[in-house]
Structure 1
Amino acid sequence: MSRAEEFEELRPLLSAIAHRMLGDVHEARDVVREAGLRWENSPAQPATARGFLVAAVTRMSIDILTAAGERRPPHEHAPPRQRAQGEDPLLTAVLMLIEELSPLERAVFVLREVLGCGFPQIASALGCTEAACRQLADALCPVGEDGAAAARWPRHIDGAENVARALVAIVPPLSRIGITLEHHRVDGRPRAVFRDRNGQDLHAVVLLDIADGQVRTIRLGSNPTIDSA
């Protein structure tokens, strides 16, 4: 199957993702068209067409949401429905990306984009070569025209519902490959430290703010210094 045929086969899915994220049929159409051009012109052969194209559509949609949010006053950052439910639109967009990935792709995405692990750590955690990990990561992080492929996963997540959705997205893929969370306290505050199946510290922690028995805020940082910004 040619790249053009693969794209056409996935176009309905890509259109549905873009439209759900952006809420505008014209913007969604433009994003899907640009993703197809990037797929056609990508010099490398990504691991899967689905992973590459879903990631491309999601990241371009996130860029549009981010730019729109920067142009609005702070109280208008989210549409009324999202404000009512306390949803973070950018977190929702990234969760949509994760939901469309295979189990292995999810693990690579979480390790690389969420926890900031290097390829040696990822290869050790997955039990595969660094080259294979790089190939998967390249497919999930397509580089745009400006050469940027920065992660958009939020480092600070507020609200019990958003926290729960984030943990459901990142913990199962890690558990499936033997990564565990050790609970500790730092300055009287709870945190979780990630360790791979060999017991090696991944140097990534989750700092938790708990109130009324619920986790209200999580902050991702490095171990031993936690980024509290």
Structure 2
Amino acid sequence: MTTDTATEVFEEHRSVLLGVAYRMLGRVADAEDVVQEAWLRWSGADRGEVREPRGYLVRVTTRLAIDRLRQIKARGETYVGPWLPEPYVTDFGNTVPDAAERAVLADSVSLAVLVVLESLSPLERAVFVLREAFGYPYAAIAAMLDRTETAVRQLAGRARRHVDERRPRYEVDPVQRRALTERFLAAAAGGDLEELMELLAPDVRLVGDSGGKAKAPLRVLESADKVGRFLVGAVRKGVAELSVRLLELNGGPAALALSGDEPDAVFQLDVADGRIQAVYIIRNPDKLRSLAGL
């Protein structure tokens, strides 16, 4: 296999590798670093011995992501305020023609699921991602991770139970989410508390991620009254001066707020029963850099 051919093969699978790495790490920059390292391993490998390039590359990427995740956990860094994953641009386009498969991929990269995955061990997270998001058989995952199939099934069972117990049950209908997102943005921008109260579920939660580097609630806000009044107050303090555009992030519609040309915040909603169940606001500037220029 020539260098040019090796590059073509790698680029063919890059989006899958980035998807695996991001779901493992919840950080775009770290995921890109892992994929770059996978390329270096691939370019230096004896590719003539590789019978199935995609499987080989996913295995390398997964192992590198496990190592990176262990390093992150070992540092034991303290995060200021609630933590949310770094926003990830998702546009499956024509690469996922099946609606059911698209829904699975979108759900596995949602903010709510990634927050739960943070509490899994690196191996549990790897097994969950490979099995639930990408549908790999247990035997294939066992080979990738150098574990027995029995051990992988046990890891998968623990991870699945953990996620099922902690993951909120939100709908993933993108049409409804987009419609509610547009109504929410209009009501918030207009400071219309009455309309917001109509949109918000009584027990709605607002999670703001600033990392201590921007203004956002340092605790999760709960109840329609608290969330609605916070949003109206934020508008009165100048948030309304931002321009907003809709795009797809983490498998669903989201709003990117811009101050001039610079990303200032990301808003995303989870909905169920026709009302907003959760509001996510990401304002940590370190997590918005990958959205510059969109």
| TM-score for both structures, normalised by structure 2 | 0.34
TM-score using structure 1 length: 0.43
Ranked by relative contact order (alpha carbons within 8 Å, sequence separation 6 or more), the top structure is: 2
